[in-house]
Amino acid sequence: MRNRTTSYSPAELLYGVRLLTPTIWNPPAEPSDIELAIKERIEFIKTDIPEMRSAGYANSIASKEKEKETYDKGVREMYFKEGDIVLKLTEQPQPKLEQIWEGPYHVQRRLRLGAYVIADSEGNRDIVNGDMLKLYSQKQYMLPEVSNTLRSKLQRFRDTRPASPIWRRGSVV
């Protein structure tokens, strides 16, 4: 099966031939001159396979550029200043009528590559990409909202080692 990105199947890029399954396989005719067939195959491996691979690589680069253009059409750059009040997109997909934004949170600092440090009213902080944030606009007649407690994603990955390894507890036997 041909890859959409490279326009070649992996077998074509590796071996230079299309693999045949038992349903479409027909036994090939016996070559009259086996040495000539071997020389032709060696020449094919030396010249045609590198050309196929470079064409597949060029197709892959062109496909990635096209995907980047498509992605960039939907992305809009948002810049938040320190002290801005923002809402954060929830991490888990929500049921139909549930809130998809949580907050409000305060932007404490802008980091590199569009990341921001945000904090809730209790001082809990988290690092979030700007794509996951939007400005919070409070209207005059809105009811005051109690902000959610910010749960840091980094906390889940801090220390995954067990508190007391088995060899420190004594004999296992």
Q: What is the DSSP letter of 83?
A: T
Rounded Cα distance between 127 and 123, Å, is 13
Question: What is the rounded CA–CA span in Å between residue 8 and residue 80?
Answer: 45
pLDDT digit string, tens, across residues 43-74: 988 999 999 999 999 999 999 999 999 988 88
Token readout for 159 is 């220390």
CB atoms within 10 A of CB 147: 17
Give me the domains of the chain, ranges plus CATH numbers. Answer: 10-74 (no CATH), 85-152 (2.30.30.140)
pLDDT at 156 over 60: no
**Backbone Cα Rg of the chain:** 29
pTM of the model as a whole: 0.53
